[in-house]
Structure 1
Amino acid sequence: MEIGIYTLADLNSNPQTGRTISFKQRIDEIIKAAKMADDAGLDVFGVGEHHRLDYAVSTPAVVLSAISQVTKQIKLTSATTVLNTIDPVRLFEDFATLDLLSDGRAEIIAGRGAFLDSFPLFGYDPKNYDELFEEHLKLLLHLNANEKVTWNGRYRSSLKDAEISPRPVQQKIPIWAGVGSSLESAERAGRFGIGLALVMLGGNPSEYKPLVDLYRISSDQAGHPIENMKVGVTGHAYISKTSQQAIKEFYPYHSNYWLHLNRQHGVKKTFSKEEFNQMAKKESALFVGSSQQIIEKILSQNELFGHQRFIAQMDIGGMPFKKVAENIERLATEVAPVIRKETRQ
């Protein structure tokens, strides 16, 4: 199994100090975290996309290109690309360039986004939310497979024998769909023959099993090779010496993250300490605990999903970089080797 980390580059204030770092410091720390992950032998590093002043990254390809120059082996992915509101041609060209800069390490996780800010920003109508994603995904896959493209769609100007340049090092850039709870999105990922990246931020992992099952059924019905059926699990994680210490240390940042996120959506709610303790239990989807507990949780979910990748989001809620670095080290040195050994086929 591949093990990695990702960031959405949120700019929350540190709940312990009340301080919010600058855009510059956040970007610098993301690049530093990616280099640490690469040096430690992790497999994947992801960067998300948002178009708001409380997030530091709006163009993952640019940040990942910078990361490509200070790393050697780690795969570099968006996490996620808001595919509804980006021109697929520009997206492909940017990630093909990243692939060249990184010597074949670029990937794309495409999602529909948690906010609607990018729709008016780039001139799209939110009413066409799902139709835009479907059409843009079709075109992106067509661009990925062909050097010259003829295309007619509803939401984008037509292409006739358009030369799509540059071409990546890889024959095709790996593309995944980021899916939270939508059966329709899981079915679409299978139908198009791309990877499924489950976004699991809470609840019981068994609740996500129907998504994986539907994904595999639809992929099989569409005639895609079984080796194309890649499943990844993504979610919040925090690793410490003991479960009690992990819960104590992570709760302020986890609570701060959700308080801020819910406010953005007009909801005044966060998780109480008691609710957080329930979320951190063994049977939950939240990865909080000692290294051994994280190992057990990943392996338990592997029995459920048969997934090939796990990537953790650690740097949330204004967490200082020192704690992020400690988590990267524990994930790479204490968790990843055991997971790889236990899941090796």
Structure 2
Amino acid sequence: MQFGIFSVSDVTTDPTTGETPDDTQRVRSMLTIAQHADQAGLDVFATGEHHNPPFVASSPTTMLGYLAGVTKDIILSTSTTLITTNDPVKIAEDYAMLQVISGGRMDLMMGRGNTGPVYPWFGQDIRQGIPLAIENYALLRRLWEEDVVDWEGNFRTPLRGFTATPRPLDGVPPFVWHGSIRSPEIAEQAAYYSDGFFHNNIFWPMSHTKQMVRFYRQRFEHYGHGPADTAIVGLGGQVFMRKNSQDAWNEFRPYFDNAPVYGHGPSMEDFTATTPLTVGSPQQVIDRYASMREDVGDYQRQLFLIDHAGLPLKTVLEQIDLLAEEVVPVLRKEMEAKRPEHVPANPPSHAERVAAARAKAAEDKAGAPAVS
């Protein structure tokens, strides 16, 4: 199972010091966080995509392309690539380029985004969010899988004899996740294409997550991709840890109480009771996240949000160390011990996808009728 971190890239005032990083400081801190996660041995770093303040991650492939050159092992991903407001042609080219640069050490997560004003900034209508996601992704698949594309749809100009460059690494497109919090249509889309489904349940109760993942698994099996429990699932979550649980509560409370991302709504006690936010000791995080398997089955990727709400960089790096040294090894061992043999432990790697594609090509060639 893969464990990693993701960033929403918020620029938030530290309530304990009154200091607010500027955009440059925030971007550079994200680069430091990703490199530290790689050095600590975490599996994945993912960045969101936002085009409105107070968020700074407007160009994921620029950031991830840089990180591909300065990290060694970590998988580089997105915690949303906006399939609705980005041109599918640009997505096809940008992420194929990232795939080539990283040597296949990447994947990406498609999402619609939840910020209404962004849609008209890019010439789109939020009321068309679902149709945009469906049509744009269908085109993106063709751009990666076909060398020459003729296409016409409802939301962009037609393509005639178009070839996206560079072509995907080894002729195999990147692995794609579809991220959704509340839309069954997106879970359906992930199931239809046999892609991964990522439920970023950081603001939702586990009962809702359980329902969405079950639906995706049922539809995955319905489309003939294999048993429901072999579908590729990822979950989001967020934690704040200290060795002593009460120290964690005391330290994180002012950040929770003042961070716009939490909306100044429920108390921290209520929020931690109803969502995956876990504030406490490493053992409490282990206990909480190990139990999620009971609700969603065996899953392949768990990402944690840890660099938000104005937390200083030093604190975030300490959280990475706690995850890597005390939490992840135990969770990985417990998850692996319970996983049935036929259920994938991880999402498919680039090498595995290349091998599968070549095996299928050989099988198709062997089954083709002889040409006289």
- Whether these two folds match at TM > 0.5 is yes
Q: State the distance in 2 between where 1:50 and 1:289 align.
A: 30
Residues 53-89 of structure 1: per-residue CA shift (max 9 Å, x gap): 3111111111111111110111111111121100011
Superposition pairs of residues 43-54 of structure 1, within 5 angstroms: 43-54=43-54
Q: Structure 2: how far apart are the matches of 1:22 and 1:284?
A: 30
Identity of aligned residues (%): 35
Q: How many Å separate the matches in 1 of 2:82 and 2:303?
A: 19
The CA deviation string for residues 190-214 of structure 1, in whole angstroms up to 9 with x for no partner, is 1232111111124431331111111
Structure 2 counterpart of 1:218: 219
**Residue 325 of structure 2: SS of its match in structure 1?**
helix
Q: 1:112 to 1:28 in 2, by over 3 A?
A: same
Matched, 1:315 2:316: no
* Match among 229, 244, 247 for residue 246 of structure 2: 244
Picking from 314, 320, 325, the partner of 2:317 is 325
Change (3 A) 1:135 1:84: same
Counterpart in 2 of 1:177?
178
Name the residue aligned to 2:265. Answer: 271
The alignment status of 1:168 with 2:168, answered yes or no, reads yes
Distance 2:246 2:203 in 1: 19
State which of 268, 280, 289 in structure 1 corresponds to 2:272.
280
Higher-Rg member (1/2): 2
Aligned to 2:70, what secondary structure does the other structure show? Answer: coil
Separation of aligned partners in 1, 2:96 and 2:219: 28
Supply the distance in 2 between the matched residues of 1:243 and 1:165 (Cα, whole angstroms).
Answer: 51
1-structure distance, mates of 2:231, 2:89: 25
- The code of the aligned residue for 1:66 comes to Y
SS at the partner of 2:64?
Answer: helix
Query: Which residue does the alignment assign to 1:150?
Result: 150
- Structure 2 gap ranges (5+): 340-372
Cα distance in 2 for partners of 1:166, 1:136 equals 19
* Structural mapping, 1:55-94, within 5 Å: 55-94=55-94
Structure 1 residues 63 and 228: alpha-carbon distance in aligned structure 2, compared to 1, 3 A threshold: farther
Q: Match for 1:276: what amino acid? A: M
In structure 1, the residue corresponding to 2:100 is in which secondary structure?
A: helix
How many residue pairs get aligned? The number is 334
The amino acid that maps onto 1:310 is Q
Residue by residue over 1:222-261, the C-alpha shift from the partner in whole angstroms, topping out at 9 and shown as x without a partner, is 222459721101122212112222222222222333xx24
1:299 counterpart = 2:290:
yes
Partner-residue secondary structure (3-state), 1:332: helix
Letter in 1 for 2:219: S
In structure 1, the residue matched to 2:358 is none
Instruction: Report matched runs for 1:30-49 at 5 Å.
Output: 30-49=30-49
Q: Secondary structure at the match of 2:291?
A: helix
CA distance in 1, matches of 2:289, 2:255: 22
Q: How many angstroms does 1:125 deviate by?
A: 2.1
Q: Name the structure 2 match of 1:25.
A: 25
State the SS of the aligned residue for 1:311: strand
Structure-2 separation of matches of 1:244 and 1:200: 25
Quote the Cα distance in structure 2 between the aligned partners of 1:87 and 1:311.
Answer: 27
Worse-matched range after superposition: 298-307 or 161-170 = 161-170
Moved over 3 A (4+): 225-228
User: 2-side partners of 1:143 and 1:205: how far apart?
Assistant: 36
- The CA distance in 2 between the partners of 1:317 and 1:27, in whole Å, is 15
Contact kept in structure 1, 2:7 and 2:306, CA below 8 Å: yes
Alignment correspondent of 1:266: none
- Report the TM-score when normalising by structure 1: 0.91
Answer yes or no: is the 8 Å Cα contact 2:249–2:279 preserved in 1: yes
SS in 2 for 1:280: helix
Alignment check: 8 A CA contact 2:197 2:234 kept: yes
SS at the partner of 1:69? helix
Closer/same/farther in 2, CA of residues 271 and 55 from structure 1, 3 Å limit: same
Q: TM-score, normalised by structure 2?
A: 0.85
Shift of 1:23: 1.1
In 2, Cα distance between the equivalents of 1:89 and 1:287?
40
Letter in structure 1 aligned against 2:23: F
Offset of 1:118 from its aligned partner? 2.3
Distance 1:207 1:151 in 2: 37
The gaps in structure 1 that reach 5 residues or longer are 263-268
Say what the alpha-carbon RMSD is for the aligned residues.
1.9
